[in-house]
Chains A and B, each alone.
Chain A
Amino acid sequence: MRVRGDTAELARVRRRVGAWAEAAGLTDARARRLQMAVDEAVANAIEHGMADGGHVVVRGAPGRDRLTVIVRYRGARFDPTTAPATPAREAVQAHSEHGYGLHLIRRLVDELGYRWDRGTNEVRLTVGRAS
């Protein structure tokens, strides 16, 4: 699916991921984890990373025992697998308003991958059908 650079699109992204998760046979709890992680990744792209007037492409890639969602957008290079983040506990104790999205992305998925391809960020979020 192609997503405009507008946070109003996020609900549509979550619904689509939910449909992919159902088709892939993920449990509701696992589907919610993936929906939320993808929501955070796309919101991050829309709010911080993407080139003006650009769009985000979100694609479901089901595997035998897993579902991977691939998020691609042109813009500032941002690798969620290595980006520094204040530990969640410290951020919470400091009443920080920001910085939770990255923690959610990392904690909710079973595998997080990143690739930088000639100006395009590609984030791969995978949740298994069972742990």
Chain B
Amino acid sequence: MSHFSVSFDRRAGTPEAPVRVLALRGELDAHTAPDFEAALQACLDDGDARLVADGSGLDYVSSAGLGVFMAFVEPARDGGGDLKIAALPERVFEVFDLLGFPTVFDMHETVDGAVGAFEGA
């Protein structure tokens, strides 16, 4: 089994302009991608569209995982926010880079950098 978890207990930004940080851990593959999808959907359902995916604990990403990021970037932006990606380990970043994802996503080296890139945060 792939080990993967998303925890999104951390809120950042300011009370007036909150940012939700999703901490990804483990392997994001075709088996675990639905968990990530559900977590992102739960954020949007809560009205939280200012999202940061903290990838520092991510060991692996496959095309299924990449597809989930892609599926939510537009809904987040349409909701007045964004899905920013932060702190990817080098070997995981390489996969995003190979396909040109940095041309679409706002990617940051640190979670704080990604949170700070939101207006008013």
Contacts and interface: CB of A to CB of B under 8 A. Distances in A.
Contacts of B95: 36, 104
A8 B103 contact: no
A8 B35 CA distance: 13
A101 B100 CA distance: 14
Contacts of A117: none
A19 interface: no
Interface of B: 1-3, 27, 29-31, 60, 62-64, 66-68, 70-71, 73-74, 91, 95, 98-101, 103-104
A27 B30 CA distance: 25
A32 B89 CA distance: 14
Interface of A: 7-8, 10-11, 14, 29, 32, 36, 39-40, 43, 46-47, 88-89, 92-93, 95-98, 100-101, 103-104, 107
